[in-house]
Amino acid sequence: MISYLKGKLIHAGSNEILLDVNGVGYSVFISRKVRESLPAMNEDFSLITYLDVKENSLTLYGFFDVKEKEIFKLLGTVNGISCKTAHNILSYAGFEDIIGLITNRNALSGMKIPGIGARKIEMISVALKDKVFKLSSELGDEKIVSATGSDIFAKEQSRLDALNALMNLGYNRAEGERIIREVLKTNPDIEFSTEELIKKALGFGS
């Protein structure tokens, strides 16, 4: 596994670079943050990498730091998100942006990422919400915890827990989401706990 490269930058495209490492040229697909930090041509450059091994291809992806690599790998665990799609997201969004996408689906409402629509953002958010906090704990970086926005996460988690409770009681997902939206819309200034949100939702649904 190729996890790190250091060499001379001999070519830079919009999302791919060519690195000369002791006479061997490595083509590496890079994130937005790496692209923004590239040196001049023929200058030394190093980056963290991930090798995607397929039956008919070997593809190298490069990252600014360990956090970017870990969020890339995390995105790849979502059903339907390939390494190519995960890289595409990192080509348009930084680490903090992606954390915002996961913890708060509205965080990227003004950002256009080709191939990433509202349904896919919803899928990523639901699949990775809990894993993000595990990642922050493993990396031990306070900035990650700050980036996730604990208040936003708490609200979203209460909403999701309440939705799951309603579904367990026989409501379908669409109806449960509609009821919870109505509760939150009617009480915009109240921060409900999960239990309070469930009680209010049951009152709306009766």
| Digit-coded pLDDT (tens) for 145-182 | 444 444 444 565 677 778 778 887 888 878 888 888 88
The answer on 106 and 53 residing in a single domain is: no
The answer on 93 and 51 residing in a single domain is: no
| Digit-coded pLDDT (tens) for 50-85 | 999 988 889 999 999 888 898 899 899 988 899 999
Final residue of a structural domain among 102, 123, 148? 148
Helix/strand/coil for 5: strand
Q: Measuring CA to CA, how many Å separate 200 from each of 46, 60, 139, 176, 206?
A: 54, 50, 38, 12, 10
The answer on 119 and 180 residing in a single domain is: no
The answer on 143 and 71 residing in a single domain is: yes
CATH assignment at residue 141? 1.10.150.20
Print the domain residue range for 87: 66-148
Cα–Cα distance for residue pair 157/159, rounded to 1 Å: 5
The answer on 103 and 49 residing in a single domain is: no
Is 0.85 topped by the overall pTM?
A: no
The answer on 166 and 124 residing in a single domain is: no
| Digit-coded pLDDT (tens) for 96-136 | 778 777 776 555 455 567 777 777 877 888 788 777 766 65
Final residue of a structural domain among 13, 32, 63? 63
CATH assignment at residue 8? 2.40.50.140
Q: How many domains does the chain have?
A: 3
CA-wise closest residue to 90 among 120, 113, 109: 113
The answer on 80 and 58 residing in a single domain is: no
The answer on 130 and 162 residing in a single domain is: no
CATH assignment at residue 166? 1.10.8
The answer on 82 and 122 residing in a single domain is: yes
The answer on 73 and 44 residing in a single domain is: no
